[in-house]
Structure 1
Amino acid sequence: MTSISRRVVLITGAASGIGLAAARAFSQAEDSVILSDIDGSLAIKQAEKLGPSHMGIKLDVAQESSVNDAIAAILSRYGRIDVLINNAGIVDPKGTPAINKDLNEVEHILRVNLEGCYTMARVVGQSMLQRGQGVIVNVASMAGVMAIPGRTAYSMSKGAVLGFTRALACEWAAKGIRVNAVLPGYVATEIVRSLVENQQVETRQVNRRIPLGRMAEPEEIAEPIVWAASNTYLTGSQITVDGGYHAYGGSGPASMETAPSPQIQTPSIVVVTGGAKGIGAAVARHYSEAGAQVIVLDNDPNALSTIPDSQIGMLLDVTNPVAIEQTFTTIANRFKTIDILVNNAAVADPFIATAEQTLTQFQAGIAVNLVAPFSVAQAAARIMMNHSGGAIINLASIAAFGGLPKRNSYCAAKNGVVMMTRSLACEWASSGIRVNAVAPGYIETPGVEALNTAGIRSSEAIRRRTPMGRLGQADEIADAIAFLGSKKSSYITGSVIVVDGGWSAFGDSGDASQLD
C-alpha cells in the first residue's frame, strides 16, 4: 500500500496539457495523484516524474469497461478517491460548419466529452457515496457558454457538461459530495498549438479578442481547478478562466497587446470596505493572518473600535464621493499603493412591496450597493494605475441571478455590480488591474441573523432550500476572495464566482437538501 499524504486525486487526460499541469499542482499540495490517460505509457512516465506516491494508468473515458477496470485498480492500491478531475476531452478536428458536420463525429465528441465525464463521475461517485465525502471538478470550456463558428459539437458537449455539473451537484450535495466546473478559455496546450499549425486558430486574432491580450498557460487553469476542489461551500458553480474573453462585448479589439500582470507586493496593502463586521471582517482577518497590511473602511465607529491592532481602521461613508477621494489619497500618501481592494460594503433593502416603496427608498439601496462600489473602485484604480496594477474583488450576491420579492433595489444593484465587474475588467486589464466578483449565498453573519430574528427570513427554510443543507461561513467567502486576489487566479478577470452551497444551481421543486 502506497502511503497517502493527504487527498487521493484522480485526473483524466493527465498525460499532457491542463491535466498534467493540474497533476503537478496537486502534487505540490502534497496530494497523491493518479494520472490517467488514453496514452497509458505516457501517463505512467509522467507519474514517475512526480514521485513514488503517484500513479499512472491507462484509461479510456469513452469505454465503460476501461473506466471500471481502472477505478478498481486505483481503489485496490489507495483505498479511496477523494477528488476526481474530469479533464479528458477532444475538439472538433477540422472546424467543419454545422450544415456539413458528420453525425458520427458529433456523437464521438459527445461520447468522450460528455458521456466520459458522466461515466467517470458515476463510477467514482459510487465509492465517494459510500464514504459520504468527495469532490468532482469537471473541466468544461468557455465554448460551453459562448458559440464559436465551426465548433458546434464541441460547444454542445461542454454546454451539456455544465448542465450535468449543476444537476449532480444538487443531487449529491447533501451526501457530502461537491461538484463544480472550471471553464478555460484559449490555453496554450498541445491541442491549441495543433489547431494553430493547421490554421484553424489565428493566434494574433485570438489574443486581440482577450482583454488580457494572451492565451493562458496550462498552469493558470490548474490553480483554479485545485481551488475549486478545496472551497467547502462551493458546489454547482462554474469558474470561468479566460482572461476576460466572455466578459467583453465590444465590437473592436479587446486589447492591442499583452496586458501587464499585477505586481502585488509582499506584504500586500489590502483595503476592505465594510470590513469591521461579517464577511468583511473575515476577509480582513484572513489577509492579516497572511501578513498583509489591512485597512478597514467602515461607517460604524463602534465596530471599528473592535478591530485588531494589526489592522488600520478608517471611518468612511461610501456614499460620499468627496470622503472616498480623501480617504484613498490618505492611504496612497502613507502606503504609496494599494494591491488589493475588496469592495464589500453593502446594506439590505427595506423589504417593502414595490407598489408601496418610494423612489427615495429604492435609490438609497442603489447608492450604497451599486454607485458606491463604482466610486470606490475608481479611487482605488487611480492609485493602482500609477504603480503596478492590482486586483479588485467586488461582492455581488445570489440576488444578482434570481429574483427576490420585495428586494428589487438589492437585486438590481447586485446584478449591476456583476456588469460593472465585467466592464471594469475589460477596460482596466491594459493597466494591469484584474477585476472579479464573488457572489455569496446565505452566509451566517449578523445581518442574516437579524433577518431571521425579525421573521423576515427563516434560517431553517434557507437550509432546506440549499443543496448543502446549511448556511455558509464568512471564512468560506473570504477564501474565495483571497483566491481571486492571488497569483493563482492570474488568468481570471471579469468573472463572477458563486459560493452558495448550490443554491443558484437548484432548479427542482421541494427541498433541495432533502432529495432522495
Structure 2
Amino acid sequence: MTQGGRIVMVTGAAAGIGLASAVAFAGVGDRVILVDRDGEAARGAAARMGGAAVALPVDVSDEEGVRRAVAAVARDHGRIDVLISNAGVVDPAAHSVLDLPLDVLDRLIAVNVEGGFLVSREVARVMAAQAGGGAIVHLASGAALRALPNRAAYSMTKAAILGLVRATACEWASGGITVNAVLPGYTATEILLALEAQGRFDRARAAAAVPLGRLADPADIASAILHVAGARYMTGASLVVDGGVDAFGGAGAASAAPAPIAPDAGPAIVTGGASGIGAAIAKRLAADGRKVVILDREPTPGGITLDIADHAAVGQAVTEIAARHGPPAILVNNAGVADAFAPTVTQERADFRRVFDVNATAALLTARAVAPHMVAAGGGTIVNLSSIAASGGLPTRNAYCAAKAGVTMLTRSLACEWAAHGIRVNAVAPGYIATPGVAALERAGKRDLSAVRRRIPLGRLGTPEEIAATVAWLASPASAYVTGSVWHVDGGWTAYGDAGPASDIR
C-alpha cells in the first residue's frame, strides 16, 4: 500500500491536525474523505482542496451515523486504505475532578474514546474484507503520558486510546491491518489559539516546557501521521511528536528560546553500515540524495574501516569526514554486536563490557565526536538504533539488554541537552529483522525462528528496508518536531501482552 491513490478517511478533518493531515495525504496523491460533525466547515475545506477531497458530515459519537458513513465510503470508493481517527474534544473550562460536570465527562468519553472505537471498528470490518488490509492511526496526546492540572478526564480518555491501539493492533494484525497512535505535544491548533485569545493559555510558558522551544504546527503532526500510515512493520506503537517534552525530566525550563532549524545539507555517517540494517540505512540515505560515509570493521567503498569501540579512531574519522565533505548533518549509531547467549553466571566481565561498549558506549562517544561539528553548522540529526531488548528481558542476553536500555535513555538525555543547538536525537527500536545474516542461519538450519514469528502479531520478521525507512524519516526535515522519541518498528512485538502465539489471533 504505497502513497498515492489510497482512499483515506480523516475524522475531525475540518480544522487543526485533522485538516493538516488531509492536506498531507492529498499532497501525495491520495483521495481524502473529510469527516467532521461541522458539515459546512468540512465542505468548505474540501472545496479548497479541490478534487482530491470530499466532505462527509458525521458525529463520531453517533454509532448509526458512523456505520452509515463508513458503508457509504466503502460503497462509493470500493475500499478504505487508511483511517486517521483524529476527532476529539477538550474540557475548555479545565474543571477539577471535584467540579467536573457529568455531561462534560460523558462527552469526553463519547468522542475521544467511544468515537475512536466506533470508527475504527467499522473501518476495520471493511479493511479485513479487502486485499491488502489497511492502516489505522489514532490521535492520542502527550497528556496520555503526563499528568496535567485540571485535565484528569481528558488525560484519561487519551491514555485509553493507547490501550485501544495495542489491543486492536494485536487483534487485527492477521488481517494485514496496522494500528498505531501518534501523540502530539502542544500544537497551535484553532482550539489552542482560541484559548490563548481568551487568556486561558500561556504560549510562552508552554514553549518553555518544550526542549525545542516552540509549539508544533499542525503540519508537523501531519507529517508524522503520513509516515506512520505507510509504515507496514509498525503496529501497536505509541509515537510521540512533542518537541522533546516527554523526554525532559528536569525541574526548570526545558528551553529559553526556539531551537534553530538544522540545515538540510552535509554528509551522513552510518556506523556498522557494511551489512544488515546498517547497509539498508546507508542505501536509503544515499537514495535520498545524501553523501553517506560508513564506519565499520569491514571495508566499504568510500567508507572508513575501524573498530567503533576505538574512540580515538572514531574521533579521527569524524574530523576527516568533516574536512572532506563538510560538517556531518546526520549520524546513525547502528553498530552493534550480540551477546554470547550464555548463562549470566558463566559470563566473563570482559565479554559483558565488550558488548556494552560497542552497543552503548560507542553510541555516546560517537555522538560526542560529531556534536561539535553539528553545533558549528547550526544543528543536525542523530538517530540511535535501540531494540525491543531495551524494554523486554531476554534471558542470557543481559549485556545487550542493558546496552539497548542505555541507548534509549541516552537518546532522551541528548535530545534535551542538545536541543538548543538545533540537534535532534531520536531512536528506532527494531524487533526481529530478516537481515541477510539471519536469513542465512535459518536456511542452514542453524536457527529456528518459527516461534519468533508466532510471537509477532504481524506474523513475520521485518526487513532491513522497513527499519531504514523510519530512520531516514527521523533524519529528515519532515520530522522537525520529533526529538527524544523512541519509535518501535517491531511488528507489534512490544504491544502484545496476551498468552500464546500472537499471530494466531483471528
Normalised TM-score (structure 2)? 0.97
The residue type equivalent to 1:277 in the other structure is S
Name which of 256, 279, 282 aligns with 1:281.
279
Note the C-alpha offset of 1:44.
Answer: 1.0
| SS of aligned partner of 1:503 | coil
- Within 2, Cα distance between the matches of 1:331 and 1:507? 45
- Range that drifts further, 229-238 or 474-483: 229-238
Aligned length: 503
Partner of 1:412: 402
Note the C-alpha offset of 1:199.
Answer: 3.3
Q: 1:60-86: CA deviations, max 9, x gaps?
A: 001111112222222232121110000
Partner of 2:73: 74
The residue type equivalent to 1:349 in the other structure is D
| SS of aligned partner of 1:417 | helix
The residue type equivalent to 2:272 in the other structure is G
Q: Does 1:495 align with 2:493?
A: no
The residue type equivalent to 2:282 in the other structure is A
Partner of 2:26: 27
- Within 2, Cα distance between the matches of 1:501 and 1:486? 23
- Within 2, Cα distance between the matches of 1:21 and 1:340? 27
Partner of 2:236: 236
Note the C-alpha offset of 1:454.
Answer: 8.8
Structure 2 counterparts to residues 296-335 of structure 1, below 5 A: 296-301=294-299, 304=300, 307=301, 312-335=302-325
Q: Does 1:403 align with 2:385?
A: no
The residue type equivalent to 2:257 in the other structure is E
- Range that drifts further, 351-360 or 116-125: 351-360
| SS of aligned partner of 1:327 | helix
- Within 2, Cα distance between the matches of 1:15 and 1:84? 15
Partner of 2:460: 470
The residue type equivalent to 1:204 in the other structure is A
Q: Does 1:189 align with 2:189?
A: yes
Residue pair 1:169, 1:502 contacting (<8 A) in 2 also: yes
| SS of aligned partner of 2:344 | coil
Inter-CA distance 5–208: structure 2 relative to 1 (3 Å threshold): closer
Note the C-alpha offset of 1:456.
Answer: 7.9
Partner of 2:48: 49
Structure 2 counterparts to residues 409-448 of structure 1, below 5 A: 409-448=399-438
Q: 1:250-269: CA deviations, max 9, x gaps?
A: 0111100010011112xx41
Partner of 2:200: 200
Inter-CA distance 450–419: structure 2 relative to 1 (3 Å threshold): farther
- Within 1, Cα distance between the matches of 2:44 and 2:194? 23
The residue type equivalent to 1:431 in the other structure is H
Note the C-alpha offset of 1:98.
Answer: 1.7
The residue type equivalent to 1:487 in the other structure is P
- Within 1, Cα distance between the matches of 2:466 and 2:405? 22
Moved over 6 A (4+): 453-456
- Within 1, Cα distance between the matches of 2:439 and 2:72? 48
Name which of 269, 274, 281 aligns with 2:267.
269
Residue pair 1:95, 1:200 contacting (<8 A) in 2 also: no
Partner of 2:36: 37
Inter-CA distance 78–244: structure 2 relative to 1 (3 Å threshold): same
Note the C-alpha offset of 1:53.
Answer: 3.6
Note the C-alpha offset of 1:214.
Answer: 0.5
- Within 2, Cα distance between the matches of 1:201 and 1:45? 28
Residue pair 1:264, 1:388 contacting (<8 A) in 2 also: no
- Within 1, Cα distance between the matches of 2:359 and 2:288? 28
Q: Does 1:384 align with 2:382?
A: no
Q: 1:466-512: CA deviations, max 9, x gaps?
A: 00000000000000000001111010000000000001100011110
- Within 2, Cα distance between the matches of 1:470 and 1:261? 38
Q: 1:175-226: CA deviations, max 9, x gaps?
A: 1101111000000001111222333321111111100001000000000001
Partner of 1:161: 161
Note the C-alpha offset of 1:150.
Answer: 0.6
Note the C-alpha offset of 1:290.
Answer: 2.0
Q: Does 1:293 align with 2:286?
A: no
Partner of 1:513: 503
| SS of aligned partner of 2:346 | coil
The residue type equivalent to 1:383 in the other structure is H
Note the C-alpha offset of 1:340.
Answer: 0.7
Partner of 1:83: 82
Q: Does 1:142 align with 2:142?
A: yes
Partner of 1:122: 121
Q: 1:429-463: CA deviations, max 9, x gaps?
A: 10010000000000011443466579885311111
| SS of aligned partner of 1:415 | helix
Partner of 2:64: 65
Residue pair 2:4, 2:28 contacting (<8 A) in 1 also: no
- Within 1, Cα distance between the matches of 2:140 and 2:242? 12
Q: Which runs of 5+ in 2 are unaligned?
A: none
Residue pair 1:15, 1:43 contacting (<8 A) in 2 also: yes
CA RMSD of aligned residues (A): 1.5
| SS of aligned partner of 1:505 | coil
Partner of 1:260: 260
- Within 2, Cα distance between the matches of 1:288 and 1:483? 13
Note the C-alpha offset of 1:287.
Answer: 1.5
The residue type equivalent to 2:365 in the other structure is S
Normalised TM-score (structure 1)? 0.95
Partner of 1:360: 350
- Within 1, Cα distance between the matches of 2:69 and 2:14? 15
Inter-CA distance 149–138: structure 2 relative to 1 (3 Å threshold): same
- Range that drifts further, 40-49 or 476-485: 40-49
Q: 1:261-315: CA deviations, max 9, x gaps?
A: 11112xx4111000000000001111122221110110123xx2xx5xxxx2111
Residue pair 1:68, 1:123 contacting (<8 A) in 2 also: yes
The residue type equivalent to 1:466 in the other structure is I
Note the C-alpha offset of 1:107.
Answer: 2.1
